[in-house]
Structure 1
Amino acid sequence: MKDMAEMTAQEIARACADAMWNNDSTSQRLGMELEHIAPGEARLAMTVTDAMSNGHGNCHGGFIFTLGDSAFAFACNSHNQVVVGQHCSITYIAPARIGDRLVATATELSRQGRSGIYDIRITNQHGQHIAEFRGHSRVVKGSHLPVEA
């Protein structure tokens, strides 16, 4: 691995995502795939299974929220700071169906001091808008990669 001073912002984002992914059993066990990572950005995808259905035969909102939350986590942790969610909200727009491939695309809107705001759009394989998630982040102590003094 390169010295941090020699790494580009994109290389740092990728290394942070790799470090997080190795410990993220929830995203892995739900079958999520990390499709894109860049500074302040992430895109994760997940296919809705029967085990994710609710009493209406649609995807349970908690799984849609979890996909959005995972995309939020990878986007806000892409700068080699340990960042946690401080507040999240979601608006469900359309139902997701069993077999749908959902894609959550996270974009950093603001990062000032220890706080950040991220919007995550969740769509299905047809590009239909399923939900809109907004996450507020907070930097805590630590880094994903070694930082030289």
Structure 2
Amino acid sequence: MTPLETAQYMLNQDFFSQWMDIKLVEVREHYCLIEMPIKKEMINGLKTVHGGVTFAFADSALAFSSNNMGDAAVALNCMINFTKAVRLGDTLLPKVFSWQIPEKRQFMILRLPISIKWWSQVSEELFIKLIKK
């Protein structure tokens, strides 16, 4: 399967990403661009997006990037910095590139900036994933 076919297959099985209304915008080898509109169910008591939603969105983006060549990868460590509040009506866009650490072929490190569509960066995540072979 191509990276796009693999990512689409994964999305078809991923009911949580479907609930978040994630769309695949562009997918190629170890890369993906997805988007997600913010729905009212994602808003917390401060009228901003719940941090867990942003984190879950990042994890989905990471999955579509790091697994689209047929490798099964799971998160080993994750860190997030929230740099701007996300609000109802915004659309989130992460661009994800994944790469393996050359001397540690079973690990990959991903840096994942997330932006509001056509606006500024709202968070940045750093993930370390373990590739299961």
TM-score by length of 1: 0.82
More off after superposition, 77-86 vs 87-96: 77-86
**Equivalent of residue 118 in structure 2, options 126, 130, 136:** 126
- 1:111 and 1:13, CA in 2 relative to 1: closer, same or farther beyond 3 A? farther
Detail structure 1 runs of 4+ shifted over 6 Å in the superposition: none
Where does structure 2 lack aligned partners over 5 or more consecutive residues? none
User: CA shift at 1:26, angstroms?
Assistant: 0.7
Residue equivalent to 1:58: 48
Distance 2:117 2:68 in 1: 26
SS of 1:54's equivalent in the other structure is coil
| Number of positions where the alignment pairs a residue of Structure 1 with one of Structure 2 | 131
TM-score by length of 2: 0.91
- Kindly provide the amino acid, as one letter, of the partner of residue 86 in structure 1: L
Residue equivalent to 2:66: 76
**Mapping 1:1-149, distance limit 5 Å:** 12-112=2-102, 113-141=105-133
Greater Rg over alpha carbons, structure: 1
| % same residue | 24
